[in-house]
Amino acid sequence: MSDTLLQLRGIIKEFPGVRALANVDMDVTEGEIHALVGENGAGKSTLMNVLSGIYPHGSYEGEIIYDGKLCRFSKIRDSERLGIVIIHQELALVPYMTIAENMFLGNERGSTFNLDWDETRAKADEFLSIVGLAESSQTPVKDISVGKQQLVEIAKALAKNVRLLILDEPTASLNENESQKLLDLLVRFRERGMTSILISHKLSEISQVADRITILRDGSAIETLTRGVDDIGEGRIIKGMVGREMTSRFPAREPNIGEVTFEVRDWTVHHQLYEERRVCENVNFNIRRGEVVGISGLMGAGRTELAMSIFGRSYGRNISGTIAVNGRELHLRSVREAIDNKIAYVTEDRKGNGLILSNTIRVNVTLANLGRVSSGKRLDMDLERQVALEYRDRLQIKCSTVEQNAENLSGGNQQKVLLSKWMFTEPDILILDEPTRGIDVGAKYEIYRIINDLVAEGKSVLFISSEMPELLGMCDRIYVMNEGRIVAELSRDEASQEAIMSSILRAEECGRR
Amino acid sequence: MKEKTMEFLKKNTMLIALILVMLLFHGLIVAGGKGSLFAPRNITNLIAQNAYVIILATGMLLCILTGGNIDLSIGSMVCLVAAIGATLIVRMHVNIYLGIAACILAGIALGAWQAFWIAYVRIPPFIVTLSGMLAFRGLALVLLGGQTISPIPAGFTRYFGSFIAGTGDPQTKLTTSLVVGVVVCAVIVLATFYARIGKIRKNYGVDSIVSFMARLVVICAVIMGAFYSFGRDRGIPVVLILLGVVVLAYYYYTSKTVPGRYLYAMGGNEKAAKLSGVNTNGVMFFAYANMGFLAAIAALVCLARFNSSFPDMGRNYELDAIGACFIGGASAYGGVGTVGGALIGTIFMGVLNNGMSILGVDQNYQQAVKGAVLLAAVIWDVVSKKRKNAA
């Protein structure tokens, strides 16, 4: 057995209101591929950010022992100096710079006032050949595919004399062929003695290459499986990931489901920028009156793209397919038309796409339906205030006054303001995209109650979430989406975490063949 | 009580700073034996000198609200529109009203030209208006042939640069001014009382009667003081009426109408505004087209004030307007700022200019002081916001 390269001891990391990591222990042996798996929000990325110094020493509890020494990283540079390099899911390359320039960004050859371009290019070519990328180092990064960009990131890590390479979802945006190449590369590196930590949702890849697998669940390391000792099949990993008891974290509701109110047929959407890529393909689904319908899927499955493209074509290109509300076919060309046809979309990104943080609660609540609080084009501020107060009471938004700016509210209360805004448009069909992301358990429960109230009024809710337990707890029906397609439709009785996961895996198997 | 005072101070920082600066200059001027900042003649001068800046700053505020975007071309636009007006009215003897209409149409056309590229093709405003700044000035020079056109007929200047009851004897002048002042005060008092009664009837919260009355008394005192000054000097400046209309109209537009609300929404978070059904391109187009309209109004005022159209007209006006908005609390990132703030910012800059001139401060130092004040105002804005976020 070789030596232990890295030990994490009792890592605890807390954010306001959330304990992201609760006493995590993890050992990484030199020269192995160590996989880290867990559901979204289990704490994988947080743990890696602690390890690489993005969260500096002092902002967490516990010890990092690397190469036999206790380490206290205060910035990323500190960990990189010791050969720990992390490659994030979103690549950090500058599109208009060449491969060589990107590879040595922050690690330039030559001296500060005299860059050595000859050495830069020579070294770049050398590392490119190691990772097996047949491109000139003078090619701008924007001109090569995502898969090749991923290889450039790895070459960049090699240029920093990496000893421990951390890859966060490296294959999420790669096709099958590119993924396999990348995995082969990791195996080759292992033969040369390099250590890697691989974070991935694609369990088949992990079963294929990992030597050991650490499973995180709710911020704790549940178990570590070793190749050759334990069963490391996908089924075994899933069991570790989802094996949690369901308690009554969801308010009860008597389903009172009526006729189909909303139906989407043959919906195909192309990527906003890369027109040849399909983000949704032949999607069919429907929602009934008084029904909560869930869409489950991994990150990047195309759920948000689906929702936004339906919502007045606010995402995507070359959109085809039909939308019918109460049996009547609609052509929604703009967000305004969608709102006027009583469809609402509550974004997953409440700060980026949802709220105007520099404005008051009152202004945010009425923004999508100013017609209701104005006559002609003249705003009735008194009426507006009354509306804001009404929603504050109804959704129990905790604030000093409705004249408080949205930026000063907690995440849960911001989410309630966003919900108020869309409830005020009086929609019949409400699309909720990750409505409980980043808010604490109590606020989640309140959001669930609001959803139950809405369907009790006869509205139809489409509930997109990455957290399977909440979908299972809240939905009457769940569609499973994977790589732009609906791959399963599960009734309340059929639905379970295992069923969802295995339908995703089945779909990926099919895609591979 | 203490909290309320603090909040009042925070909300009205620039107003308080303005009052302090006015008192400071007044003290310095009196001590130097150079008259008074509040001398009747000087009050009238302050308004005449800054009328065009107030108009331009109002338009600039709308541009800044859309997302910290500025319009660099307005100085050149003023020059070009004034050149068109002078050419038509003086050289070609076109009817004055037709001339005024042509100027306004020209301004809207220039604004719409730039607005189209900015809003629908999404060329960065900085670049589009930089090009306008060069091109409009060039066209103005072509039109003027490098010459100055003057004088402007009195038939024109009386609409923008004359005084009401300016020729009467001192007693009638004073009486007219005071009567008009009393009428303005009465309208304000009635309007605020009406609003207050409406709020009370609908059971909305209102300020305490004491602070409500105190505010009214202060506002009326300032108005009566100003009108007394006009009466003692040359009468009520006509341009004041124009200013009143512009400021009130845009105050109303930005704070009480749906399109005004969209302006703030777009500047605060364009993506969120779009997903709320706001036509953000349309909002942007309006802001820049409107800037052209207001630049034309400012050009008419300048034409009357300088009684001529000359090649260097409007030089650096854009910087005065931008500075006034930022001093008045507009955010450099958009979405925050008020017409009232821009007005206070303009007067602040105006008092600095005027006060330093009376004191005989060197022109070059004046420039340096203004620069420092602008930076200080924005630093204060950014730092206080940071502190608020930290708390």
CB spacing of B276 vs A334 below 8 angstroms = no
Secondary structure class of A221 (helix, strand, coil): strand
Task: Say yes or no for a CB contact (<8 Å) between A335 and B258.
Answer: no
User: Mean pLDDT score of chain A, rounded to an integer?
Assistant: 87
Contacts of A263 (CB under 8 A, 6+ apart): A285, A286, A287, A323, A324
Per-residue pLDDT of chain B (391 residues; tens, 9 = 90+): 566 777 677 777 788 888 898 999 999 999 988 888 888 889 888 998 999 999 999 999 999 999 999 999 999 999 999 999 999 999 999 999 999 999 999 999 999 999 999 999 999 999 999 999 999 999 999 999 999 998 999 889 888 888 886 667 888 888 889 999 999 999 999 998 888 888 788 777 777 788 888 888 988 999 999 999 988 888 889 999 999 999 999 999 998 899 999 999 999 899 899 888 899 999 999 999 999 999 999 999 999 999 999 999 999 999 999 999 999 989 888 888 999 999 999 999 999 999 999 998 898 898 899 899 888 888 877 777 666 554 4
B235 φψ region: left (φ > 0), alpha (ψ -120 to 50), beta (else)? left
Nearest to A284 by CA among A498, A66, A424, A488: A488
- Residue-by-residue pLDDT tens, chain A, 513 positions: 468 899 999 999 887 666 788 889 999 999 999 999 887 667 888 898 899 888 888 889 999 999 888 989 988 888 888 999 998 877 788 888 889 988 888 888 888 788 888 888 889 999 999 888 888 888 888 888 888 888 898 899 888 889 999 998 888 767 777 888 889 999 999 998 899 999 987 778 888 899 999 998 878 888 899 988 888 887 788 778 776 544 457 888 888 899 999 999 999 999 888 888 888 999 999 999 999 999 998 777 889 999 999 999 988 888 999 999 998 999 999 999 999 999 999 998 888 899 998 899 999 999 999 999 998 889 998 899 999 999 999 888 888 889 988 888 877 889 999 999 999 999 999 999 989 876 766 678 888 999 999 999 999 999 998 878 889 989 999 999 988 899 999 999 999 888 988 888 888 777 666
- Contact: B275, A345; criterion CB under 8 Å: yes
Contact yes or no for A374 and B258 at CB 8 A: yes
Residue B253's closest chain A neighbor by CA?
A378
CA distance A63 to chain B (A): 29
B202, B272, B277 member nearest A356 (Cβ): B272
With CA atoms as reference, the chain A residue closest to B264 would be A359
Provide the shortest C-alpha distance from residue B268 to chain A (in Å): 5
What number is the ipTM of this complex? 0.78
Closest CA to A505 of A220, A214, A145, A242: A242
Rounded CA separation A437/A419 (Å): 13
The pLDDT of residue B166 is: 66
Taking contacts as CB-CB distances below 8 angstroms, the residues of chain A near B273 are: 356, 367
State the fold for domain A4-242. Answer: Rossmann fold (3.40.50)
Q: Tell me the domain boundaries of chain A.
A: 4-242, 260-342+427-512
Q: Is the peptide bond before B151 cis (omega within 30 degrees of 0)?
A: yes
* A251 upstream amide cis, omega within 30 of 0: no
Whether B258 sits inside 8 A of A407 (CB atoms) is no
- Secondary structure of A177-206 as H, E, C letters: HHHHHHHHHHHHHHHCCCEEEEECCCHHHH
Structure token pair of residue B15: 């107003």
Structure tokens belonging to residue A251: 């308010």
Contact A381 B279 (CB under 8 A): no
Write down the CATH superfamily of domain A260-342+427-512. P-loop containing nucleotide triphosphate hydrolases (3.40.50.300)
User: Which residues of A lie closer than 8 Å to B, measured between beta carbons?
Assistant: 311-312, 314, 334-336, 338-339, 345, 347, 352-359, 363, 367-368, 370-371, 374, 377-379, 381-382, 385, 407, 421
* Three-state DSSP class for residue B328: coil
CATH 1.10.287 fits B35-164+259-382, yes or no: no
CB contact under 8 A, B198 and A374: no
Stated pTM of the model: 0.78
**Tokens 């845009």, residue located:** B250
Residues contacting A449, CB < 8 A, separation 6+: A251
Which residue out of A358, A390, A422 would a mutagenesis test of the B interface target, given it has the greatest number of B Cβ atoms within 10 Å? A358
**Separation CA A312–CA A334 (nearest Å):** 4
* Residue B269 to residue A356, Cβ atoms within 8 A: yes
State CA A281 to chain mean position distance: 20
Give the closest of A358, A377, A385 to B204, CB-based.
A385
